[in-house]
Amino acid sequence: MVINRRFFFDHIRSGPFRGKLSPSQVKGMEAILGHWEAWGRRGDDRWLAYILATVFHETAETMQPVRETLADDDARAIAILERAFAEGRLRWVKTPYWRPDETGRSWLGRGFVQLTHRRNYEAMSAITGIDLVADPDRAMETGPALAILFEGMARGSFTGKKLSDYFEGGNEDWVEARRIVNGADRAALIAGYGRSFYAAIGHRPSACPGKVEGGFPSGNA
């Protein structure tokens, strides 16, 4: 199915984008839609809607591959994360994954879905055929970021949960689908985004979405 771009952008602009889209946001969504249309494993349109919702949340609404904290470089991102950790604002983090290892590389969140930890960079290198261990910043290039996003969510690479676990035939669970990436973190919020994107793709939305709250990239994939 080719997505009707005019219908999509006319409808998604009002929610969750609050009436305005930047050229960068449009470019990012065009890349995601184009990848979906060409993707050999394409399935249920609800998959695409939830992928878009995940990107909206994980990239702080930019719809572009980003570095965790939205910093311009690793050093700045590490400093922000260290301060937040010291202040007790990252209570779920047991081991600060962003601290550089013996090679000097940091495994902080990058991309459309905030890939973290060396083991996940290694796993996605094998799946995508892109050496993300040698150069973690490649996860912020559009092509690799799209491959990580789509293959990771379809295969269950991040948490063991995958798109077909929540959207397959008559099975539909917008809230529990958050477990594909990050447990129950902001699950109802992202479910609401997913329903909005699903309507913009050209489908009747499901029940009223959950409460809307602010958020930043979660860095837990």
In this prediction, residue 117 carries a pLDDT of: 95
List the domain boundaries for the chain.
67-148
**What mean pLDDT is predicted for residues 185-205?**
91
171 has pLDDT over 70: yes
Spell out the long-range contacts of 13-20 with Cβ–Cβ below 8 A and sequence spacing 24 or more: 15/196, 16/56, 16/61, 16/192, 16/193, 16/196, 16/212, 17/61
Q: What is the mean pLDDT of the chain?
A: 91
**132 Cβ neighbours under 8 A, 6+ residues apart:** 115, 121, 122, 124, 125, 138, 139, 144, 148
Q: Residue 9 has what pLDDT? A: 96
207 pLDDT band, cuts 50/70/90, is: very low
| Mean pLDDT along residues 101-120 | 96
pLDDT band at 211 (very low <50, low <70, confident <90, very high): very low
Between 205 and 154, where is the model more confident? 154
Mean pLDDT of the region 37-47: 88
Exposure on the CB side of residue 53, measured as CA atoms within 13 A: 32
